[in-house]
Amino acid sequence: MGWLSMPLASMGGHTSPKQYLDAQFTYERASTDDLPFHGYRVLESACPGNRVYYAALERYDTTGTQDVNAVVCLVRWNPKAADGFVFAYKDMSEGMGPYEASCPLRILDRLSSSNDPNALDWRRRCYAAIQRRSRKLPDGALIRFPDPVAFSDGNRHEVMRVKREGTRIILTNRDGAGRYRVSNLLDRKFEILRERKISPTIFT
């Protein structure tokens, strides 16, 4: 499915992408000659940064819940858009194997089991991303990237030192010189190096 764009007036009174998409994916269909009664409802959802929407979507009928699967929407949100089209989205099922794989754990935990290889691969990548973001990165730690990272000053560094300033993470050279920022650091691949500690010599 392609992108669907709209002005704020077409969002049905909803003031954010999450509100609109929660409503869009929650509906019921009365039984017809071709299809029995069925419905969908959003159990959990998130739209971090108004960039990607993730939801656990329950499908149910008169007998109860049938399954819970994930839906992913790419989101464009620009309340100051010059052409008035402030919101656009493109929806995908997890079975389409979306590239975006930063779904929160609380949503993944609501999903039914699946045999779909694309869905299973997507869930694996989501869990791997959660594990990366949960890594402890203490102040002073020495980390090594798989390949040197290029910075705007022309330097390239593979091994860098972590400097924590509150919730902000700054990287420096191994010796502590320089100040560098790496976007989405915790989502990147790196290893924390163990440094050999040299005990001081004590003379008696």
Whether residues 103 and 147 fall in one domain = no
**Is the confidence at residue 33, as pLDDT, over 80?**
no
Residue 82 has pLDDT above 90, yes or no: yes
The total of structural domains in the chain comes to 2
Between CA 175 and CA 85 the distance in angstroms is 50
Q: What is the pLDDT of residue 91?
A: 96
Looking at the domain assignment, is residue 198 inside a domain?
Answer: no
Picking from 95, 99, 38, 94, the residue whose alpha carbon sits closest to that of residue 63 is 38
Residues 51, 82: Cα–Cα separation, whole Å:
19
Residues 86 and 106 in one domain: yes
- Residues in a beta bridge with 53: 73
Mean pLDDT of the chain: 91
Instruction: Reply yes or no on whether the pLDDT at 201 is more than 70.
Output: no
Question: 107 and 155: one domain?
Answer: no
Tell me what pLDDT residue 196 has. Answer: 74
Residues 9 and 93 in one domain: yes
Residue 19: give the domain boundaries: 4-133
Where does a domain end: 133, 152, 182?
Answer: 133
Positive or negative: CA dihedral 148, 152, 155, 161: negative
Q: Does residue 35 share a domain with residue 127?
A: yes
Mean pLDDT (whole number) for 153-180 = 90
Q: Are residues 24 and 79 located together in one domain of the fold?
A: yes
Residues 39 and 100 in one domain: yes
159 and 128 inside one domain: no
- Of 33, 30, 27, 34, which Cα lies nearest the Cα of 59? 27
User: Which residue in 7, 98, 118 sits closest to 54, CA to CA?
Assistant: 98
**pLDDT on residue 63:** 86
Question: How do residues 172-188 score in pLDDT, each as one tens digit?
Answer: 998 888 899 998 888 88
The answer to whether residue 188 is domain-embedded is yes
